Chains A and B, each alone.
Chain A
Amino acid sequence: MTPAFLSVRDLHVSFRTEDGVVRAVDGLSFDLDQGKTLGIVGESGSGKSVTNLTILGLHNPLFTTVEGEIVLDGQELTTAHESELEKLRGNKVAMIFQDPLSALSPYYTVGRQIAEPYMKHTGASRKAAWKRAVEMLGKVGIPHPAERAKDYPHQFSGGMRQRAMIAMALICDPDLLIADEPTTALDVTVQAQILDLLKDLQREFGTAIIFITHDLGVIADMADDIMVMYAGGAIERGTVREVLRSPRHPYTWGLLNSMPRLDSDLSTPLSPVPGAPPSLLTPPPGCRFHPRCAFQDRVGGNRCVTERPLLAPDRASACHLTAQQKHTIFIDEIKPRLRHGQEDTA
């Protein structure tokens, strides 16, 4: 087996704060192959953004401790020198942020900002880089790209700014694109445009994408594989089909159940996950999810409280329930609640 294009092994990221040490990411491992999309889903504070800032080395080294391995195409990133990371950023690895207005500088024209990484990484002349920027703007669907490249970010609408960010991220033809909630700030009709655009550009450029979001609907649309994160660790991983159609972790069940859908049954109230996510300063012992879990009494002994379940490398969920139990609980108790509403459309 050839090693994965991006391989993260047993990653721990912690921050020193006034109140103590926050373990934002605690023992995370995953792989991503070239040209594939990994969707990372989780609630705020689950560690999904921190993981990806760490890949690019964008954390503050004064307050952050990083342990574990991040290997991108054979190169170890956690110990890499800043100058090496600089060569990667915007070149081999690019990032799209949630809020395109704060990610673009108001002082420079859009075209100049898009051209900058190209000039830096390829050594192209200003003129050639500008030409390339205009070409990219056209590719992401900005009408009259030659004129609009001379505009400043405030003259662009929200959707156009996000398109400009995508153009900037893809100008050096990166192998890995990290998209951190790229459509959360956008309206649904614009979100749909941007998601379609990303998919089409991925097909054209063959880029691997890490797509971070809290919206399972967006993930279902975009990703090949899903990783569900909770309180700093991955609790379930698998293909989109596996995770959404036969989920194996009580938290994933809770997420699917609490999400209102356009076809869900209206006669019953939503079933939320009780309680709130734990503090990462003092995470609960054993399974991080056990204080909110309705199924811990089906696990023998006190294992949920004493022993932290681990995620096996293949298709798996980090839960002490046996595979058989997970299967029967999902089929008998969870699925009937998800399926309703489907009958009347059939």
Chain B
Amino acid sequence: MTEDPVLPAPREATDEAAREPLLVVEGLTKHFPVKGGFPVRRTVGQVQAVDGIDLTVHVGESFGLVGESGCGKSTTGRLITRLIEPTAGTITYRGRDIGHASRKQLAPIRSEIQMIFQDPYSSLNPRQTVGKIVSGPMEINGIEPDGGREKRVRELLEIVGLNPEHYNRFPHEFSGGQRQRIGVARALALEPKLIVADEPVSALDVSIQAQVVNLLQKVQRELGIAFLFIAHDLAVVRHFSQRVAVMYLGKVIEVGDRDSIYTRPRHPYTHALLSAVPEVNVTDEDTGGRERIRLAGDVPSPINPPSGCRFRTRCWKARDRCAAEEPPLVQLSGNHDGHLTACHFPEDPTTAREEDIVLDPALAALEGESK
């Protein structure tokens, strides 16, 4: 296995090109019906998985989408790749609305938007050889690269750090990390412009995870492919993405460049999320300055989300206005350009807070006893 394989000439992403929007999502909504009742099953409710989100991914940009389980981040990824059809809203890819495009209309676009899946075990067909899996997309699209498909597949395997000699092996002969590399090679087969990666490293061990993150980063930078990187691990997303959107219960609650989101978050939920990440202090200094916010309870049900601001049921700053009025996603004063926050009572644009916030009733009681 070579560490630094030769890559095809990189498509230089100039500043101007980077500003060019590749994908624009407006008011994207997906409601799944909930069926119930007997003897006739009817729709008794709607799971509001994604409820009116706006996103823009620029050419060659890596865009991170973070949130806890059930916040709608995976549904967003599946909507953008049009694996499912949106209930409302538009998905504009390079100037064309693909939100309700037919199968036929989608065919040419499908080759430009590829997907990498979370589970490297279930996303590869166990009966197909690596060669067959990676050349599959070319076969379907009738693409015959110079020198034949096999040569191209071998090139791709080398790009993702696999031995091209493994062309005829089956997925079970590879480890989890290597399987994920096969998934990456398959996604690259058609030279896509956008790759939607849904939790691509969360099933892997730490030491292997870093290998795959580095590979994706190399592919993104050197081939100039835009990435929509969906993950729940904030540290991984920070490493990979230039811009980040935080989702909560079907809404984008904060979006901005990486620095703004990680060092000057304004939304209370972003603060809570960052403070909840367990961290290793590897330095000798006792920093101790990390804020500690413990939210109470769990994410509410998306079938019957709270009125107004969806975070208000777990928010320590919630007031009457939060229940009555949904906060718009806007640029607050003090925010950097493009840093948007949806909150009526945003936090100060600082990094750490003075006192801890503990909203968990059991913990509050225990802490009260020990005092």
Tell me if A190 counts as interface (CB < 8 A to partner B): yes
Task: Determine the chain B residues whose CB is within 8 A of the CB of A142 once the complex forms.
Answer: 362
Tell me if B163 counts as interface (CB < 8 A to partner A): no
Known: A43-B207, A256-B282, A272-B211. A262 touches B235 (CB 8 A): yes
**Bound: A277/B280 CA distance, A:** 23
Task: Determine the chain A residues whose CB is within 8 A of the CB of B207 once the complex forms.
Answer: 43, 254-255, 258, 272-273
Q: Which residue of B lies closest to A143 (CB)?
A: B361
Known: A139-B362, A204-B366, A220-B281. A43 touches B205 (CB 8 A): yes
Known: A187-B232, A197-B362. A276 touches B177 (CB 8 A): yes
A195-215 Cβ-contact flags toward B at 8 Å (1 or 0)? 111001101100000000011
Q: Which residue of A lies closest to B282 (CB)?
A: A338
Tell me if B68 counts as interface (CB < 8 A to partner A): yes
Tell me if B209 counts as interface (CB < 8 A to partner A): yes
A169-211 Cβ-contact flags toward B at 8 Å (1 or 0)? 0000000000000000001111111011100110110000000
Known: A189-B68, A259-B206. A220 touches B279 (CB 8 A): yes
Task: Determine the chain A residues whose CB is within 8 A of the CB of B178 once the complex forms.
Answer: 276
The answer to whether A262 touches B282 (Cβ under 8 A) is no
Mark the stretch among B52-60, B269-277, B338-346 that contacts chain A: B269-277
Q: List 7 A-B contacts (CB under 8 A).
A: A188-B277, A189-B294, A192-B276, A255-B207, A258-B210, A259-B235, A260-B235
Mark the stretch among A11-19, A73-81, A263-271, A312-320 that contacts chain B: A263-271
Task: Determine the chain B residues whose CB is within 8 A of the CB of A102 once the complex forms.
Answer: none
Tell me if A245 counts as interface (CB < 8 A to partner B): yes
Task: Determine the chain A residues whose CB is within 8 A of the CB of B277 once the complex forms.
Answer: 188, 217, 262
**Bound: A315/B217 CA distance, A:** 38
Partner of B298, one of A190, A244, A276: A190
**Bound: A244/B282 CA distance, A:** 6
Tell me if B168 counts as interface (CB < 8 A to partner A): no
Tell me if B106 counts as interface (CB < 8 A to partner A): no
- Other A-B contacts than A190-B68, A262-B279, 12 sampled, CB-CB below 8 A, are A141-B361, A158-B298, A188-B277, A189-B272, A200-B363, A215-B278, A217-B277, A245-B281, A255-B207, A260-B210, A270-B239, A271-B210
Tell me if B303 counts as interface (CB < 8 A to partner A): no
Residues of A at the B interface (CB closer than 8 Å) are 43-44, 138-143, 157-160, 163, 187-193, 195-197, 200-201, 203-204, 214-218, 220-221, 244-245, 254-264, 266, 269-274, 276-277, 338-339, 342, 345
**Bound: A107/B296 CA distance, A:** 28
Partner of A157, one of B276, B279, B282, B298: B298
For the complex formed, measure the closest distance between the CB of A184 and the CB atoms of chain B, giving whole angstroms: 10
Tell me if B43 counts as interface (CB < 8 A to partner A): no
Q: Which residue of A lies closest to B358 (CB)?
A: A196
Task: Determine the chain B residues whose CB is within 8 A of the CB of A257 once the complex forms.
Answer: 210
Known: A188-B232, A204-B366, A276-B178. A259 touches B280 (CB 8 A): yes
The answer to whether B210 touches A193 (Cβ under 8 A) is no
Q: Which residue of B lies closest to A262 (CB)?
A: B235
The answer to whether B205 touches A277 (Cβ under 8 A) is yes
For the complex formed, measure the closest distance between the CB of A17 and the CB atoms of chain B, giving whole angstroms: 15
Residues of B64-98 whose CB lies within 8 A of A: 68-69
Task: Determine the chain B residues whose CB is within 8 A of the CB of A189 once the complex forms.
Answer: 68, 272-273, 276, 294-295
Task: Determine the chain A residues whose CB is within 8 A of the CB of B284 once the complex forms.
Answer: 245
For the complex formed, measure the closest distance between the CB of A165 and the CB atoms of chain B, giving whole angstroms: 14
**Bound: A43/B207 CA distance, A:** 8
Tell me if B307 counts as interface (CB < 8 A to partner A): no
The answer to whether A260 touches B272 (Cβ under 8 A) is no
The answer to whether B360 touches A193 (Cβ under 8 A) is yes
Task: Determine the chain B residues whose CB is within 8 A of the CB of A276 once the complex forms.
Answer: 175, 177-178, 208
**Bound: A277/B299 CA distance, A:** 37
**Bound: A220/B210 CA distance, A:** 20
Tell me if B214 counts as interface (CB < 8 A to partner A): yes
Task: Determine the chain B residues whose CB is within 8 A of the CB of A201 once the complex forms.
Answer: 366
For the complex formed, measure the closest distance between the CB of B103 and the CB atoms of chain A, giving whole angstroms: 36
Tell me if B238 counts as interface (CB < 8 A to partner A): yes
Tell me if B213 counts as interface (CB < 8 A to partner A): yes
